[in-house]
Structure 1
Amino acid sequence: MPRLRTRIAGTAVALAALPLAVAPPAAASANPDYTITVHPNSAGAAIDDSMYGVFFEDINFAADGGLYAELVRNRSFEFLPADRSGYNGLTGWTVDAGTATTANDDARLNATNRTYLRVTDGAALTNAGYNSGIATKKGDIYDFSIWARADAGATLTVTLGGATLTKAIATDSWTKYTGTLRATATTDAGRLTVRTDKSSRLDMVSLLPRDTYKGHGLRRDLAEKVAALKPGFVRFPGGCLVNTGSMYGYDAANSYPRARSYQWKDTVGPVETRATNTNFWGYNQSYGLGYYEYFQFSEDIGAQPLPVLPALVTGCGQNRATNDPALLQKYIQDTLDLIEFANGPTTSTWGKVRAQMGHPKPFGLSKVAIGNEENLPNEYFANYLQFRDAIKAKYPNVTVISNSGPDDTGATFDNLWAKNKAAGSDMVDEHYYNSPSWFLQNNARYDSYDRNGPKVFLGEYASLDAKFANSLAEAAYMTGLERNADVVKMASYAPLYANIDNVQWRPDLIWFDNDESWGTTSYQMQKLFMTNVGDRVVPSTTTGAVVQPQPITGRVGLSTWATAARYDDVQVTTPDGTVLASDDFNDGNADGWTSLSNRGTWSVQDGAYVQSDTGATNTMVAAATNITATDYDVTLKATKTAGAEGFLIPFGIKNSDSWYWWNLGGWNNTQGAVEKASGSADAKEQILTRPDSVVTGQTYNLKIQVRGTKVTLFKDGVEWGGFDDNKVSEPFAQVVTHDNRTGELIVKVVNAQDKAALTKVDLGGLKVARSAKITVLAGDPGEQNTRSAEPIQPVTSTVNGIGSTFTRTFPANSVTFLRIKERS
């Protein structure tokens, strides 16, 4: 049965029950479905200018081929098989005529750009850029540059469509040659061709549009979309690429390791001296977009820079830590040097480097984050404390941000939060990606956080899909972030960009190809919140119906992930022993079992159900019987026979996109979890996590005990863990803030349900203007914004009938921003 809920300034209180979870349409009843009561005389939290920001990581080809405007792919011939299978020095290039090969010898350009192109007796090469080609606009100017040398002189001819540039290579020492090309056509499939008529050496072939964002080398449309958000901060450069790969940096004396963790000193200075690197996300990154450019971009859009530095403990499933004290001290010194690079005078060592790059004025860095999603809490925190102490000793006013691991809950999360509280950390970075239902159930997450403890930086979050329903759930959750602005000081949706042809992660805020870009429905939602923040929270309460949790019922199943396994003696019984479903596979078939994923190779072998494909992921099959009982036990035997992980035991299956599963030996056989899919198999939230592994060849007796919404898990008769999925869902959410500059109340209302919500709004006696500016984002919850169409767009108008108390119907599946002018 639904119940009323009232919330004020971070406190949730249950009230009397109502007979309906969702009110009837407004026309059918004069009684409001919800009541919002504002308490203008109560003190509310101040909201920092940096409340909302953006998180940039070079994932989904977001840098090269994305925000960084360079149009030539593999411009320095540094792609290697060690970076990615199939890569070589000529990846991205075709040799149209003559002979051209890559070389790495003493004739190289410099120690960091080791590979160059050797042309014998002349050759012609063509580069197609990223995606389907190089995008050009008729009449626009493109700046070309190349480093070249030739034994006996050579002529260099460069063509871009119908535009041609000729240069004489006159010396056998490396020299930079530059010129301009004016595009003769508008196309997204252009090609750049470079020809030499004699033997020569070439490196660092570059083509940049003259028209970049504020002339600073960033692709204009992608930068402008971020600038339009008016973010308070930019978190960079990651993410997983910060603290993964080798912990050792560039070594000029030796062949430097590939896949180095991201180190800022590799990314500053002239671009031809910057090292390339293997990206954690499976491709090569040039570092043409480096720390200087990140600082400059932050400044250009009026945002605080927030760099993330590696703590010498890898995250993102790698789980390694250094035991080299000298290396740790080097990284700590690098962090101190970074602060000097950003803020130091031009007479300082690193301030001088900044000035030489064109920015003598300090960037005003005030915050740094140490580490990202480390899953070794003890090792991480020991290192973090050394970083923090060194930074505070030299720069006491710099905020040092710790983190809480990769999940929103669990042993690592609890451990790191306890350590951060005990150590008096300034701020703790939380990350989570969950289903829409999780966001609707957790609006009160920060209501109970310690007001005197470390502040929260929500550095990465998103609802796991790209539909408008996801954006509505995020919006409802953001009202809780604002209500708790005294605890949650910063928040950034993640990731920021995705190249439509090169995607490693989704959802993402802004999508693009080589000449177009578009914002998702969540981009539109984030933009509305970022441009309507306000300066302080005005406390308010809400009464109205919430949605009660339902018992966990449905089919049971079996699955694997990159693993082969045998399952046997699957049985579902009630607590009194009544058998609801049973299969021992002794009859040689799997009658009634159906695939929900169309993946994997399932067969009955020797009286067991076997999945034998170690390359397949999510091979889910489900039994025929739909379990409608609210109390039942699932038992089975499971044996891993080969592969990378362990077992996946689904239960409560409604369909292929709605289920729970018990994940044993996940994450390369290091972690266990219970995950929940709600509306999409790709949108799984982790209900609980703990360390776990599975031994190949060992048979495990597994039991899932379900009692309504409560689940207890047993592995070989020992309780493994449990949870109670008993949270109510709040599809109607609101927060009220005050804009000091305009003297307006900003009433923000989210109605994430399929029926309109007739709502009474009581402003607590405030005198206000009779009309207000209203902006509404509404639509089909299953809709998406795509390259072909962006149907979810805000609509702004003026509404009358506003007063100290007024009634308004908020549309189904909508978010509404009312800006109401106060009167003296």
Structure 2
Amino acid sequence: MRRTRPLLAAVLATSMLVALPGSGQAADTDYRVTVDTAATGPAISDDMYGVFFEDINRAADGGLYAELVQNRSFEYDRADNASYTPLTGWAPRSGDPQVVDDAGRLNERNRRYLKLPLPGGLINAGYNSGIHVEKGKRYDFSVWARTDQATTPLTVSVTDPAGAALADPLRLTVRGATWTRYTGTVTAKTTSITGRLLVAGGGAGTLALDMVSLFPRDTYKNRPNGMRRDLAEKIAALNPGFVRFPGGCIVNTGSHYGYDAPNYERRRSYQWKDTIGPVETRATNANFWGYNQSYGIGYYEYFQFAEDIGAMALPVVPALVTGCGQNQATDDPALLARHIQDTLDLIEFANGPADSTWGTVRARMGHPAPFGLTHLAVGNEENLPDQFFARFTQFRDAIEAKYPDITVISNSGPDDTGATFDRLWQLNEDAGVAMVDEHYYNSPTWFLQNNERYDSYDRQGPKVFLGEYASQDNRFYNALSEAAYMTGLERNADVVRLASYAPLLSNEDYVQWRPDMIWFNNRASWGSASYETQRLFMNNVGDHVVPSTATGTPSQEDLPITGAVGLSTWGTAASYDDVRVTSADGTQLFADDFSAGDANWTNIAGRGTWAVTGGAYTQSDTAAENTMVMAGDPAWQNYDLNVKATKQSGREGFLVGFGVKDSNDFYWWNLGGWNNTQSAVEKAEGGGKSTLISDGTTVQAGREYDLRVSVRGRTVSLFLDGEKWGEFTDSQKVEPFRQVVTRDTRTGELIVKVVNAQANAARTTVDLKGANVERSARMTTLRGDPDDVNTQYTTPIAPRESRLDVASTFTHTFPPYSVTFLRIKVRSS
């Protein structure tokens, strides 16, 4: 069965809304949950819920990777970030340090090093506010160095910004002209979050330095070159079944990150062989997200970390077709063959015996036993479905021929629906692919509307790996919508085998994407509201689903789409003209040919440079994103919007808004979006967007397009140059009350999971069909205001443990805006 975007059937209301007269409070809504305790539903994979790690938001360097020195090997470059220099992160204390790349380099991959005229010194401030040290803890210093003198004294100090010592200085002696690694340990005398590392050489001549490192001894599992303890412990507390790594967009981007660049070139795609071996021999690289990545965390560390937390390692390798808004495919057969062989070598690195070629490399790094790799994904969010799948097939054929026990995972593109999604699912099903990776980031409403998405998937077709998903904010309401959706994932555990929220980590001072599950700075970490819901689900999965049903929330009659009209751009200069809005009976509601200026329009986004130029309304800033201007009456309904649009320059097309209420709530027709690779209608609610329909339409610069949007009730038809482009009906129901029941066979408990994502309390009768249950059940509840956000200083969303009296049939009122897990012990009959 070919998958298209499922339509959520209207929920029939069988419950009663009970008002509380004069109370000024929300009413209770009555529900009934019926559980067939004698039946057994789909088995749930032990690995169902996992985590997805990508080096975004400084998740690795300055984050999970415990290294405290920023730019330790002087490899930062403008090629990575326009603001970078080789001395970014460093400040001279004295002398005139110079970063060079010559025949005297440490090795071919680690090319740059520092020449420090003596006497001289320099200071590193680490990440965020500085280097964090804690009183009484030890920190291991290391540096590769050489000197043009017989000996050179080297002093290492950890100080505050004013130069006051935070630890006793470490004194080393550099000897001779051969690169040598020098090490020592300092112990902090006081705690500071603004520490500085001062490295100073004495005497005369020149000192060469590379790989300057300060590493906490106290890492997760006390591993050298290991993980920051608090972040690793928060990940481990999720009890993840798998770790997907290293991305994401950093894996499959290649338009300017060369798939075949030399190992030492920083404009290079992520390739696993660059990331193993001694850290001083690993390549550094530009990161897709705009900064430098050191590969201090490499494939060995990923495998080791997954093993340490009891999770399955799930690596992702490039398919040589770009995704993430790019649109290129590599056609070099030799290059493709090399990447396929690299993937086979990766499997040998993970699973081969210690005397195999790549198993020997693993063993030398400290892990003689195989890691036990079972799953591997090829590609990520490719926009060219046929080109991707042709290459994926070659990867899969080669892997299955040599390693038939490895599950090779494909994907369905960057969104939950649309032409790319449909085409890739068709290709995957026709080829009998074992598992398909789906990704989507949508509004809370989308998640509350689409709980039944997987109910209609083919039970005999490929299984689903939901590798990236999140509701587009970090408020508790977002977490509630995700929790409600997860009940549908579990109910369909025979289809959805793996699922991971994304992204995992974000440094609060280096945010490139939100929402994120775990937040941190240089001294603290905290879980978001979504972290708490994920942790609750991941630690209470159960072994199989127990069939259950629930009554729905009383529905209201559908209201028509209402709102004003809007014009916008995204990284593009574009002109608009001859805007007309007419009612369904032909009455003109609004017209603007801009001959009298732009007084009818309000810039609700506060971005972009709008002006009337040449008789058209033009946005000229090609760097500005979402430049929405609005006109008309927010109460408009049942109307036609006509507008002429011309792209002037930039990376995308144009955006025509309708049903516009404000800058966070609107629909828009996005023509030439995603770097001009596709077009779609998107719905924004509370700032989060979801895609309603899409196709591969692109936009030509300099050509005038005639656009019409026809809104009738909740049905919208769209016309491009007089031809119907598409149509949709936005009629899916928002269901705030969701539940699923699973069984823990080890403990003999039913796990009743209930999400109430509304202001009304849910007075619920739970019918366990006469099951003989122990009277007292364990109850865990997350509750709060929908706008609550966990921060470093306050965590309003945290689990509350209690007991609840239960019976074979009992009534419990689930609080407004809550997630509740009941573990009910069933006695043997």
TM-score w.r.t. the length of structure 1 is 0.95
Count of residues in correspondence between the two structures: 806
Alignment of 1:32-71 (within 5 A): 33-71=30-68
Q: Where in structure 2 are there 5+ consecutive unaligned residues?
A: 1-5, 160-164
CA deviations on 1:524-552 (whole Å, 9 max, x unpaired) are 00000001110000000111225455321
| 2:631 partner amino acid | A
Residues 45, 537 of structure 1: 8 Å contact kept: yes
CA deviations on 1:530-589 (whole Å, 9 max, x unpaired) are 011100000001112254553211111111222222222212212321222222333x13
From 372, 375, 392, the equivalent of 1:384 is 392
Query: For 1:412 and 1:397, how far apart are their aligned partners in 2?
Result: 29
- Give the aligned partner of residue 5 of structure 1: none
Query: For 1:18 and 1:540, how far apart are their aligned partners in 2?
Result: 16
Change (3 A) 1:250 1:555: closer
Change (3 A) 1:421 1:546: farther
Query: For 1:748 and 1:656, how far apart are their aligned partners in 2?
Result: 35
Q: Where in structure 1 are there 5+ consecutive unaligned residues?
A: 1-9
Deviation at 1:363, TM superposition (A): 0.9
Deviation at 1:250, TM superposition (A): 5.7
- Give the aligned partner of residue 670 of structure 1: 677
- Give the aligned partner of residue 700 of structure 2: 695
Residues 327, 383 of structure 2: 8 Å contact kept: yes
Residue 567 of structure 2 is aligned to residue 558 of structure 1: yes
| 2:48 partner amino acid | M
- Give the aligned partner of residue 154 of structure 1: 152
CA deviations on 1:24-73 (whole Å, 9 max, x unpaired) are 46999999611111112333000011010000000000000000000011
- Give the aligned partner of residue 753 of structure 2: 748
- Give the aligned partner of residue 823 of structure 1: 827
Determine helix, strand or coil for the equivalent of 1:421: helix
Residue 745 of structure 2 is aligned to residue 727 of structure 1: no
Residue 658 of structure 2 is aligned to residue 634 of structure 1: no
CA deviations on 1:288-313 (whole Å, 9 max, x unpaired) are 00001001100111100000011111
From 423, 431, 439, the equivalent of 2:431 is 423
Deviation at 1:639, TM superposition (A): 2.1
From 470, 493, 500, the equivalent of 2:508 is 500
Deviation at 1:489, TM superposition (A): 0.3
From 86, 93, 96, the equivalent of 1:96 is 93
- Give the aligned partner of residue 762 of structure 2: 757
CA deviations on 1:461-488 (whole Å, 9 max, x unpaired) are 0000110000000000000000000000
Query: For 2:259 and 2:743, how far apart are their aligned partners in 1?
Result: 49
From 108, 112, 115, the equivalent of 1:111 is 108
CA deviations on 1:571-619 (whole Å, 9 max, x unpaired) are 2212321222222333x13334222111122233454333233332211
Determine helix, strand or coil for the equivalent of 1:33: strand
Query: For 1:602 and 1:18, how far apart are their aligned partners in 2?
Result: 52
Residues 29, 553 of structure 2: 8 Å contact kept: no
Query: For 2:66 and 2:27, how far apart are their aligned partners in 1?
Result: 57
Residues 546, 730 of structure 1: 8 Å contact kept: no
CA deviations on 1:171-205 (whole Å, 9 max, x unpaired) are 21010000000111101100001011241211111
- Give the aligned partner of residue 410 of structure 1: 418
Change (3 A) 1:772 1:814: same
Determine helix, strand or coil for the equivalent of 1:179: strand
| Worse-superposed segment, 456-465 or 94-103 | 94-103
Identity of matched residues, %: 63
Residue 299 of structure 2 is aligned to residue 291 of structure 1: yes
From 793, 807, 812, the equivalent of 2:811 is 807
Deviation at 1:11, TM superposition (A): 12
Alignment of 1:484-499 (within 5 A): 484-499=492-507
- Give the aligned partner of residue 660 of structure 2: 653
| Worse-superposed segment, 200-209 or 544-553 | 544-553
Query: For 1:200 and 1:789, how far apart are their aligned partners in 2?
Result: 48
Deviation at 1:13, TM superposition (A): 7.2
Residues 8, 449 of structure 2: 8 Å contact kept: no
Deviation at 1:358, TM superposition (A): 0.7
Residue 248 of structure 2 is aligned to residue 239 of structure 1: yes
CA deviations on 1:230-270 (whole Å, 9 max, x unpaired) are 00000000000011133434636xxx432211111110110
- Give the aligned partner of residue 633 of structure 2: 625
Query: For 1:357 and 1:518, how far apart are their aligned partners in 2?
Result: 32
- Give the aligned partner of residue 3 of structure 2: none
Residue 796 of structure 2 is aligned to residue 791 of structure 1: yes
Query: For 1:39 and 1:268, how far apart are their aligned partners in 2?
Result: 52
Alignment of 1:540-619 (within 5 A): 540-547=548-555, 549-586=558-595, 588-619=596-627
From 520, 527, 538, the equivalent of 1:519 is 527
Query: For 2:358 and 2:585, how far apart are their aligned partners in 1?
Result: 73
From 189, 192, 203, the equivalent of 2:197 is 192
- Give the aligned partner of residue 174 of structure 1: 179
| 1:70 partner amino acid | E
TM-score w.r.t. the length of structure 2 is 0.95
From 523, 536, 543, the equivalent of 1:535 is 543
Deviation at 1:208, TM superposition (A): 0.3
Determine helix, strand or coil for the equivalent of 1:143: strand
| Worse-superposed segment, 506-515 or 688-697 | 688-697
Query: For 2:274 and 2:11, how far apart are their aligned partners in 1?
Result: 58
Residues 25, 757 of structure 1: 8 Å contact kept: no
Residues 9, 732 of structure 2: 8 Å contact kept: no
Query: For 2:734 and 2:785, how far apart are their aligned partners in 1?
Result: 20
Query: For 2:7 and 2:33, how far apart are their aligned partners in 1?
Result: 15
| 2:124 partner amino acid | N
| Root mean square deviation of aligned Cα | 1.9
Determine helix, strand or coil for the equivalent of 1:791: coil
Change (3 A) 1:209 1:547: farther
| 2:259 partner amino acid | Y
Query: For 1:712 and 1:513, how far apart are their aligned partners in 2?
Result: 47
Change (3 A) 1:130 1:154: same
